[in-house]
Amino acid sequence: MIDHISLSVRDLEKSAVFYDHVLAPLGLNRIVERTGSVGYGKTYPEFWLNARTGQAPEPSGTGTHIALRARNEEAVRQFHAAALAQGGRDDGQPGPRAAAMTTYFGAFILDPDGNKIEAVHFPR
């Protein structure tokens, strides 16, 4: 249903380095670089960063929440560890979660701009 998403970031270079590490365990790599934007994906850009200099960080508990699929629980753990190593903040340790329709394994982080990014793995 969703083709791609875009996040506004204050410092494109800093955010791109952050997401280079954070998205790699989920199989998303930097594949497009343009003036003012960077795109990540597997074969085409599915996750975009767009420079918005002068933008204030999102206050805690607000802003964007994006959940990205992970191929297994270990990828969720790697995503979370990479985010913390790159200066992201923990917003939910890797572990089982109860959703409205099923349970899953997930982790939440806050990026340098305060956006909440989640990695999720649904057991088969």
Domain 5-53+63-121 has CATH 3.10.180.10: yes
Residues in the chain, total: 124
pLDDT at 26: 97
Domain extents in the chain = 5-53+63-121
Q: CA–CA separation, 66 vs 68, rounded Å?
A: 7
Q: What is the pLDDT of residue 100?
A: 79
Each residue's pLDDT tens digit, 41-55: 999 999 999 999 888
28-40 confidence digits (pLDDT tens): 999 999 999 999 9
For the sheet containing 65-69, what is the strand order?
Answer: 65-69, 116-121, 103-110, 89-98
What confidence score (pLDDT) does residue 1 get? 66
Which residues of the chain, if any, have pLDDT below 70?
Answer: 1, 60-63
pLDDT reported for residue 49: 97
